[in-house]
Structure 1
Amino acid sequence: MDYERLIDEETWAFIRKTGECYPEDAVALSIEEQRGVYNDMAREFLAPRPDLVTSEDRRVSDVPVRIYTAGDPSRTVLFCHGGGFVVGDLNSHDDVCAEICAQTGYRVIAVDYRLAPEHQHPAMSEDAWTALRWVVATYGKGVVLMGDSAGANLCAALAHAARADTELSSAVMGQVLIYGAFGGDINAGSYLEHAQAPMLTRDEILFYMDVRRPKGDLGPDPTFAPLQDKDFTGLPPTVLVSADCDPVRDDSRDYRDRIQAAGGKAYWINEPGLVHGFLRARHSVGRARDSFERISAAVEALGQGIWPYD
């Protein structure tokens, strides 16, 4: 794959800066050390919060959450962070949540779900479910699910599970899923085409899948891999954003296709020349900045019950 041609210099600068944050022996680090390195990297890219945004940390049952507000919000965004279900926390995506809050005017609630390998699936999904139930009980209807990477997987799993609960399903107005891995065919398409992509490789995806997976045969489990669901009816309007130079790219296309085939609303935005994790590049890379504007606009539109993609 000719990444020198596909990826522009701004994005290469972002890739190099990210790489500089990781020691040469990063693969040999313990899980706790990997989390420390990841958090240090996140701080390198951390942008100042918009002045009008305030936040409050609290616990919902045993699940830590951070609540961002700006003014008097009428809608709530439930945000699940990326990090392969292994790294990431309330601080790693703090600026993303604050900026979504400022740009949409919506309340944003970030979920600090349990991580692998200390906790196996379905611990992460259970924590996200606990947070969603609390959000609806506390703030009522008008919820947009939003997540990147592993967090996009969790949000999609929430949307699938919420259909069994009338109160929750009626409260969720849509979902915005950013470079999500939804359990597609790892031996086909983008998983092979971009197996050695910058920022995320196929081998790393396999590691993250295995470290989260409990022992034994899960069987088809849409709370682990939403694309394994047999029923895609009744899902909320869904906007999927992928990076073109990313092994998980085709999962977003396939998820869109399943929803549309079931009669639902889904729209896929594939960003040329971008790589997994590009949200951190939104202040330094023009393509990432433009994508973040599209993401924010999608969150705002879904929260207003608007579908601007027909």
Structure 2
Amino acid sequence: MDYEKLIDAETWGFIRKISESYADDAVDLSIQEQRAIYDAMCRDFHVARPAIVQTEDLSANGVPVRHYWAGDPTRTVMYFHGGGFVLGGLHSHDDICAEICAQTGYRVVSVDYRLAPENKHPASFDDAWTATQWAADHFESSLILVGDSAGGSLAAAVAHHARGRLKGILAQVLIYPVLGGDMSKGSYIEHAQAPMLTRDECLYYHQVRCNGSPPTDDPRFAPLQDSDFSSLPPTLLVTADCDPLRDDARDYHEQLMSAGGQVHWINEPGLVHGYLRARHSVGRARQSFERISVAIEALGQQLWPYE
């Protein structure tokens, strides 16, 4: 794969800056070392919150969450952070959540779910589900489920599980999500050595969540393992083209279309996994983040902007 041609100079600058603070062989380090490196990288890219945004840290029936708001919001965005189910927390995506809040006018609830390997599946899902139920009750407003990477998996898993259990989920927005696709073909092979995320790293994160072999029929673990894709909320999928996870979204899109769902897939050319951190330095990433924010706002108003 000729990434020199596929990826523009701005994005290569972002990749090089990431490499300065996040080692290529990070998954070979201890969990504590991985988290220390990841946290340092997050600090390097952190942007100050917009002045209009207020925050408070709360407990959602025992799950730590951070509540962002500006004015008097009428919708609640549940945000599930990425990090391979191993890394990240309220700090890692703080500025992303604050900017979504400022740009949409909606409150954002960021979920600090338990991480692997200390907490095996279904711990992360259980926390995501508990926090979502709490937010629906606590704020008495409709919800938009949003997540990136591992968080995209959790957002989708909550959407699947919520059917018949929780009302008021208006949409899901999944950003370069891991959904449980076949890692022996497609983008997993085409982009096995992509900048920012490799197939070997995907395999590592897939395994580290479980005691023993990963499940094969548990949509809480991998939404593509579900047998029923009907009655899901309107769904936006946003992927980076140079990403081994890309085809997970393609396959999920096909399943929702076959089930008669309302779904749209945007595949961003020349972008790489984790590009939300480049939204202030890379034009393509900035435009994609704007598309995501506009979509969240529209979906919160039950408007479908893709006809």
**In which range does the TM-score fall when normalised by the shorter chain?**
over 0.9
Partner of 1:259: 256
**TM-aligned CA deviation for residue 269 of structure 1:** 0.3
Partner of 1:32: 32
Partner of 2:281: 284
Q: Deviations over 1:97-141 (max 9, x none)?
A: 000000000000000000000000000000000001001111224
SS at match of 1:184: coil
For residues 29 and 55 of structure 1, the distance between their equivalents in structure 2, rounded to whole angstroms, comes to 34
For residues 298 and 221 of structure 2, the distance between their equivalents in structure 1, rounded to whole angstroms, comes to 28
Decide which moves more: 36-45 or 133-142: 133-142
Change (3 A) 1:217 1:268: closer
**TM-aligned CA deviation for residue 174 of structure 1:** 0.1
Structure 1: which 5+ residue stretches go unaligned?
none
Partner of 1:126: 126
**TM-aligned CA deviation for residue 210 of structure 1:** 0.2
Partner of 1:102: 102
For residues 213 and 292 of structure 2, the distance between their equivalents in structure 1, rounded to whole angstroms, comes to 38
SS at match of 2:86: coil
Percent identical: 63
Partner of 1:194: 191
Give the conservation status (yes or no) of the 8 Å contact 2:60–2:135.
Answer: no
Structure 2: which 5+ residue stretches go unaligned?
none
Number of residue equivalences? 307
Partner of 1:15: 15
SS at match of 1:197: coil
The answer to whether residue 185 in structure 2 is matched with residue 185 in structure 1 is no
User: Which of 230, 234, 246 is matched with 2:231 structurally?
Assistant: 234
**TM-aligned CA deviation for residue 164 of structure 1:** 2.9
SS at match of 2:95: helix
For residues 240 and 214 of structure 2, the distance between their equivalents in structure 1, rounded to whole angstroms, comes to 31
What TM-score comes out, normalization by structure 2 length? 0.98
Give the conservation status (yes or no) of the 8 Å contact 1:174–1:236.
Answer: yes
The answer to whether residue 83 in structure 2 is matched with residue 83 in structure 1 is yes
Give the conservation status (yes or no) of the 8 Å contact 1:140–1:171.
Answer: no
Runs of 4+ in 1 over 6 A off after TM superposition: none
What TM-score comes out, normalization by structure 1 length? 0.97
Change (3 A) 1:140 1:195: same
Amino acid at match of 2:162: A
For residues 300 and 246 of structure 1, the distance between their equivalents in structure 2, rounded to whole angstroms, comes to 26
SS at match of 2:91: coil
Give the conservation status (yes or no) of the 8 Å contact 2:156–2:172.
Answer: yes
Change (3 A) 1:24 1:8: closer
**TM-aligned CA deviation for residue 23 of structure 1:** 4.6
